[in-house]
C-alpha cells in the first residue's frame, strides 16, 4: 500500500512556510514514514504546472516530462509514502487535466489524499498583489491595476469558485479523498497551516518555524505595481522597491471588499453546505471590519517614481534584461487617482 498526500493550495494560505517546514522535516528526519518529493532545488512541486496567456486567455499546462523525472527520482530513493505540495495546482480548472493527473498518480499510489486550504476571496486577492508585482502567474491572471483589489472580471470565477473547483477534484478522486480547511487560526489544528498539515500526516508539529514570504507594505506594492504596468522585470526592481519605507499595509475600503466578494457569494454558500453546514452561511462569513471605511491607497507616502524608474532602467542595462509582456487588463499605465 503506497500513499500520497497531495497539497494543492490555495495560494496565500501559508504554503511557502509549509513547504519550507516539509523540507526541514525531510532533512532532519521529522516526517516519520513520509517522504517529501519536491522539484530539485525548489521547496515545492510548482514546476509541474505552467501558465500561458493573459486574463481570460490564461490557461494551464501540465509538464509531464518534469513529472516523470520526479517519479523516477522517487523510485530511485525508495520513497514509499509521499507528500507533494504545489499551490500551482489550484490554477487547474479543467476537469480533463485533473483527470489526467489522477490517472498518472494512480499508477504510482494506491491511496491518494487531496488537501486544500481556502481563504476568503478578497483576502487572498489582496495578499496576491505581491505575486502580481513579481510578474508571476498572478500577474497573468489579474493584471497590475494600481489598487488594493484587482478589478473583477468574469474569468476570475475560474479561480475563486472554490465550490465548483473542488467538486471537480471530488468527482475525479472521490469525495472521501478530499480534505478542506478554512484558512484561519480558529479553524486550523494547532492554529496554523503547518501544525494542521502535520496533524493530517499523523505527526506532532515541528517547532521553531519562521514565517516565510512576508507581505509588502502599501508603498512597496504601489511602486511595484506601477513598474509592473510598464513591463519592468522583477529582477530589476525588487531590491529597490524593498528599500521603500511605509509602515502601513495596502487596504481596500469596506465597500470595495464587499463589492469584490459579491460575485462569489452563491458559490460560497454551496461551499458552506458541502464542507461546513453548521458554520457561516457563505462558509467564510462577511465581516469586513478589518478594512477601513475609505481605502488607504491615497494616503501612501509619495515616491519619486521618475527617479525609481531611472534606477530600474540602469539595473536592466547592467543585467542585460528586457521588458516583459503586458497584461491587456492593465489599460493605460499611470498613477492612482
Task: Verify that 322 and 281 share a domain, yes or no.
Answer: yes
pLDDT greater than 60 at residue 212: yes
Q: Output the pLDDT for position 40.
A: 87
Whether residues 69 and 186 fall in one domain: yes
Using CA atoms, how far apart are residues 242 and 240, in angstroms rounded to an integer? Answer: 5
Print the domain residue range for 113: 3-121+159-201
pLDDT category at 331 given cuts 50, 70, 90 is low
What was the pLDDT predicted at 111? 98
Is 213 part of a structural domain of the chain?
A: no
Residues 15 and 104 in one domain: yes
pLDDT in tens, 22-57: 999 999 999 999 999 999 889 999 999 999 999 999
Q: Which three cell numbers stand for residue 168?
A: 471537480
Same domain, 246 and 299: yes
Position 138 in a domain: no
Q: Tell whether 177 and 250 lie within a shared domain.
A: no
On whether both 59 and 173 belong to a single domain, the answer is yes
* Least confident among 81-90, 102-111, 326-335: 326-335
On the question of pLDDT at 178 being above 60, the answer is yes
Average pLDDT value for the chain = 94
Q: Does residue 336 surpass a pLDDT of 60? A: no
11 shares its domain with 112: yes
Q: Which of 201, 235, 262 is the C-terminal boundary of a domain? A: 201
- 255 and 170 in a common domain: no
**CATH label of the domain that carries residue 167:** 3.40.50
Question: Are residues 243 and 301 in contact, defined by beta-carbon separation less than 8 angstroms?
Answer: no
- Write down which residue in 201, 233, 253 finishes a domain: 201
Strand partners, 50: 61
Cell reading at 36: 517529501
By percentage, how much of the chain surpasses pLDDT 90? Answer: 91
- In the chain, DSSP assigns E strands to 3-7, 34-36, 49-52, 59-62, 81-85, 111-118, 178-182
Considering the domain architecture, whether residues 165 and 55 belong to the same structural domain is answered as: yes
Are 181 and 235 found together in one domain? no
Q: What is the pLDDT of residues 141-165, one digit of tens each?
A: 999 999 999 999 999 999 999 999 9
Range picked from 159-173, 206-220, 319-333 for highest mean pLDDT: 159-173
CA distance 235 to 248: 24
Q: Residues 164, 40: one domain?
A: yes
162 CB burial (10 A radius; 0-12, 13-18, 19+): buried
* % of residues, the chain, pLDDT over 70: 97
* Tally of domains in the chain: 2
Q: Is residue 319 part of a domain?
A: yes
d(CA 141, CA 38): 25
Non-local (6+) Cβ contacts of 302 within 8 A are: none
Q: What is the largest CA-CA distance in the chain?
A: 61
**Residue 181 in contact with residue 118, Cβ under 8 Å?**
yes
Residue 149 in any domain: the answer is: no
pLDDT for res 211: 65
- Answer yes or no: is 135 within a domain: no
Residue 139 domain-assigned?
no
| Between 52 and 330, the higher pLDDT residue | 52
Q: Which residues contact 59 (CB under 8 A, 6 or more apart)?
A: 51, 52, 53, 94
Whether 305 shows a pLDDT value over 50: the answer reads yes
Is 132 inside any structural domain? no
pLDDT number for residue 332: 56
223 touches 303 (CB < 8 A): yes
Predicted confidence band of residue 328 (pLDDT cuts 50, 70, 90): confident
- Segment 194-213 shows an average pLDDT of 86
Instruction: Examine the pLDDT at 214 and tell me if it is beyond 90.
Output: no
Q: What is the pLDDT of residue 282?
A: 93
Tell which of 141, 174, 201 closes a domain.
Answer: 201
- Specify the higher pLDDT residue, 99 or 280: 99
Q: Is residue 131 in a domain?
A: no
**DSSP string computed for 106-173:** HTT-SEEEEEEEE--HHHHHHHTHHHHHTTSHHHHHH---SSSSPPP-GGGHHHH-HHHHHHHHHHHH
**Same domain as 163, residue 61:** yes
Q: Which residue has the higher pLDDT, 142 or 214?
A: 142
Count Cα neighbours of 134 within 13 Å in the Cβ-side half-sphere: 12
Amino acid at each position: 500500500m503506497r500513499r500520497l498526500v497531495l497539497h494543492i493550495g490555495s495560494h496565500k494560505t501559508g504554503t511557502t512556510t509549509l513547504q519550507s517546514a516539509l523540507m526541514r522535516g525531510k532533512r532532519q528526519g521529522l516526517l516519520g514514514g513520509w517522504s517529501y518529493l519536491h522539484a530539485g532545488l525548489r521547496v515545492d512541486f510548482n514546476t509541474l504546472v505552467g501558465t500561458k496567456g493573459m486574463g481570460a486567455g490564461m490557461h494551464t499546462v501540465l509538464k509531464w516530462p518534469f513529472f516523470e523525472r520526479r517519479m523516477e527520482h522517487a523510485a530511485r530513493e525508495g520513497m514509499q509514502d509521499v507528500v507533494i505540495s504545489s499551490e500551482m495546482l489550484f490554477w487547474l480548472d479543467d476537469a480533463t487535466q485533473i483527470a489526467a493527473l489522477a490517472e498518472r498518480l494512480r499508477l504510482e499510489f494506491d491511496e491518494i489524499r487531496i488537501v486544500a486550504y481556502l481563504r476568503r476571496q478578497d483576502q487572498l486577492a489582496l495578499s496576491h498583489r505581491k505575486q502580481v508585482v513579481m510578474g508571476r502567474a498572478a500577474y497573468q491572471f489579474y493584471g497590475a491595476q494600481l489598487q488594493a483589489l484587482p478589478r473583477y472580471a468574469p474569468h476570475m470565477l475560474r479561480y475563486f469558485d472554490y465550490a465548483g473547483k473542488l467538486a471537480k477534484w471530488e468527482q475525479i478522486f472521490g469525495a472521501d479523498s478530499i480534505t478542506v480547511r478554512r484558512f484561519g487560526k480558529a479553524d486550523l489544528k494547532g492554529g496554523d497551516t503547518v501544525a494542521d498539515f502535520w496533524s493530517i500526516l499523523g505527526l506532532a508539529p515541528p517547532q521553531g518555524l519562521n514565517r516565510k514570504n512576508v507581505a509588502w507594505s502599501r508603498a512597496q506594492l504601489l511602486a511595484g505595481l506601477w513598474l509592473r504596468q510598464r513591463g519592468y522585470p522583477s529582477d530589476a526592481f525588487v531590491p529597490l522597491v524593498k528599500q521603500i519605507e511605509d509602515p502601513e499595509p495596502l487596504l481596500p475600503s469596506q465597500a470595495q471588499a464587499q463589492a469584490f466578494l459579491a460575485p462569489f457569494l452563491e458559490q460560497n454558500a454551496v461551499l458552506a453546505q458541502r464542507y461546513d453546514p453548521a458554520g457561516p452561511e457563505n462558509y467564510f462569513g462577511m465581516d469586513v471590519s478589518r478594512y477601513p471605511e475609505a481605502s488607504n491607497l491615497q494616503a501612501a507616502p509619495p515616491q519619486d517614481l521618475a527617479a525609481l524608474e531611472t534606477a530600474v532602467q540602469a539595473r536592466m542595462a547592467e543585467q542585460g534584461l528586457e521588458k516583459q509582456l503586458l497584461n491587456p487588463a492593465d489599460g493605460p499605465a499611470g498613477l492612482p487617482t
